[in-house]
A = this chain, B = another copy of it.
Amino acid sequence: MSSKTVLIVDDESSIREMIAVALEMADYRVLEAENAQTGHAMALDHKPDLVLLDWMMPGTSGIELARRLKREEATAEMPIILLTAKGEEDNKIQGLEAGADDYITKPFSPRELVARLKAVLRRATPAGVEESVEVEGLKLDPASHRVTSHGSALEIGPTEYRLLQFFMTHQERAYTRSQLLDQVWGGNVYVEERTVDVHIRRLRKSLGETHQHLVQTVRGTGYRFSTRE
């Protein structure tokens, strides 16, 4: 579950700070810019998953930046949430016409912010239609989030599920513990490499006698999922 990156563009550092704290607590990566120019540059540079834009800023205004971002190919798909001071309700339509995806009126609670931000991200990321995979009667179906062995359900924990999913979509190739941590646990976590071994063990146990030969140890390297020997 790789965390998303959010770019905050606001001239008041105290506001930026508040938002940043709230977002970091909700496990988002945060970038900050204090004016439209640097904001624009950072949007191009870091490709954040979402941009939080203050309406009123010295120099180029938020809405102007919003228009610019929507106009450019590289950033057009980037969801934008506009922040505005209370009592400027009329701007709402103007803001949304500029291409903003949502519009939050100050003052707002951090929780509201996070909730609306989630909603916007949810919409912006269409659920990937993942295909189910089957190998020797072992079937993993992402839609129902189920693993079956010749039709009967297997008990399997969340991490084992992800591990198996990764393996089944990347068969016949050896991965180091480090690579598996990256791919299955998600990059920026600090976890002992030996932990992989433990989950491999648990996965094998879940797979049972029938299928555990599919998860193979590559001594000195890591593990591999393969139907061949």
Contacts and interface: CB of A to CB of B under 8 A. Distances in A.
A125 to B, nearest CB: 11
Contacts of A172: 143-144
Nearest to A143: B173
B119 A187 contact: yes
Contacts of A194: none
Copies in the complex: 2
A59 interface: no
Q: How big is chain A's contact interface, by range?
A: 35 or more
A103 interface: yes
Interface string A163-181: 0000000001110001100
B92 A190 contact: no
Given A127-B179, A187-B122, A229-B153, A145 B111 contact: no
Given A145-B174, A219-B158, A220-B158, A109 B123 contact: no
B179 A97 contact: no
B107 A90 contact: yes
A224 interface: yes
Contact of A188 (B18, B119, B143): B119
A190 B113 CA distance: 9
Given A92-B107, A187-B122, A97 B18 contact: yes
A218 interface: yes
Contacts of A118: 178
Nearest to A103: B109
Contacts of A123: 111, 182, 187
A58 interface: no
Given A18-B96, A144-B226, A115 B187 contact: no
A146 B143 CA distance: 29
Interface string A95-114: 01100011100110111100
Given A86-B89, A93-B106, A111-B123, 6 more contacts: A118-B178, A122-B182, A143-B172, A143-B173, A145-B218, A158-B221
